[in-house]
């Protein structure tokens, strides 16, 4: 697991090394503050982290870890469903890696010997439908789709209905990713949520927001807007390997008070890993502190 997290944080760790070429047993708070800001942790959060550290000017790894861990207290829970399928609605702006992430998620379920059916409910872009169809073929899972311009809620309903009939374990529904400040997008997403519940009471069981890791802390406002629309249940951070802004996950978790479910650390179908806060924090601290410091 560490190797995957390290791969995803490679550029962030490189930026830390430029500030701190040699690891230390204890770090000066001023230098730690510089590292945290460079990693794209919001400044007000950096101030808060420094405040909760011991009053001495230099601090040990254990003290830093204790404070950092407090920002990931939000549990990754799945609601119990009395019947299959477990329905997930995937939301995010265009370009965030939404469609690819859906495929990676389906691939994870397939490796766990669980069946999955995809729903191509981003009917506003023909390219989105074609991309999801292509991925469904690559990973050999079923897909429900229609022509561009058709009602996305109907696709969601048909996907769930088909999954019920076939006793499928998971349904993953793609949605349109136009700009989050458009009123029509908000209305559309709310309608899809209502129709999912009509197809299967309680669905969607999890609403997942995809955020582009290269946007860093600037993705927070985008996330808040989606959360206000339909109450997001969890987050997946994509393209973590393509940015030195690995610290932005602290700001996202703090601002939204939602669990980070997975992080994307590459382009391959296996490059989506379950987010483990301890591994994430330890990987960052390993680049700062000497091993003898525990």
> Residue positions in the annotated binding site for GTP?
92-99, 174-178, 238-241
How far apart are the C-alpha atoms of 175 and 185, rounded to whole Å? 10
Question: What is the C-alpha separation between 179 and 222, in angstroms, rounded?
Answer: 9
User: SS3 of 132, please?
Assistant: helix
C-alpha 181/C-alpha 160 separation (Å) is: 28
Measured CA to CA in angstroms, residue 243 lies from 17, 73, 96, 264 at distances of 15, 24, 13, 12
Those residues with Cβ within 8 angstroms of residue 196's Cβ, 6 or more apart along the chain or in another chain: 87, 89, 156, 157, 160, 173, 203, 204
Cβ atoms < 10 Å from Cβ of 254? 18
Report d(CA 143, CA 19) in Å as an integer.
48
Binding-site residue numbers are 92-99, 174-178, 238-241
Nearest Cα neighbor of 126 from 165, 176, 91, 77 is: 176
């Amino acid at each position: 697991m560490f190797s995957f997290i390290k791969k995803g944080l490679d550029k962030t760790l490189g930026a830390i090394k430029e500030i701190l070429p040699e690891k230390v047993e204890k770090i000066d708070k001023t230098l730690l503050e510089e590292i945290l800001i460079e990693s794209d942790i919001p400044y007000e959060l950096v101030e808060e982290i420094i405040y909760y550290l011991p009053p001495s000017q230099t601090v040990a790894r254990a003290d830093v870890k204790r404070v950092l861990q407090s920002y990931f207290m939000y549990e990754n829970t799945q609601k119990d469903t009395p019947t299959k399928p477990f329905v997930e609605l995937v939301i995010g702006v265009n370009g965030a890696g939404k469609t690819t992430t859906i495929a990676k998620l389906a691939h994870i379920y397939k490796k766990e010997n669980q069946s999955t059916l995809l729903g191509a409910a981003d009917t506003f872009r023909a390219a989105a439908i074609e991309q999801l169809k292509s991925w469904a073929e690559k990973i050999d899972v079923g897909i429900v789709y229609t022509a561009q311009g058709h009602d996305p809620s109907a696709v969601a309903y048909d996907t769930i209905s088909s999954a019920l009939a076939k006793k499928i374990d998971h349904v993953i529904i793609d949605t349109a990713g136009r700009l989050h400040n458009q009123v029509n997008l908000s209305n559309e997403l709310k309608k899809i949520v209502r129709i999912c519940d009509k197809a299967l009471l309680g669905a969607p069981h999890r609403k997942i927001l995809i955020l582009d890791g290269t946007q860093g802390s600037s993705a927070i406002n985008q996330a808040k807007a989606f959360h206000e629309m339909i109450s997001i249940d969890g987050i997946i951070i994509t393209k973590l390997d393509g940015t030195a802004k690995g610290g932005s996950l602290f700001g996202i978790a703090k601002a939204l008070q939602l669990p980070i479910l997975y992080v994307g650390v590459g382009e391959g179908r296996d490059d989506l890993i379950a987010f483990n806060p301890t591994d994430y924090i330890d990987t960052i601290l390993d680049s700062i502190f000497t091993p003898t410091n525990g």
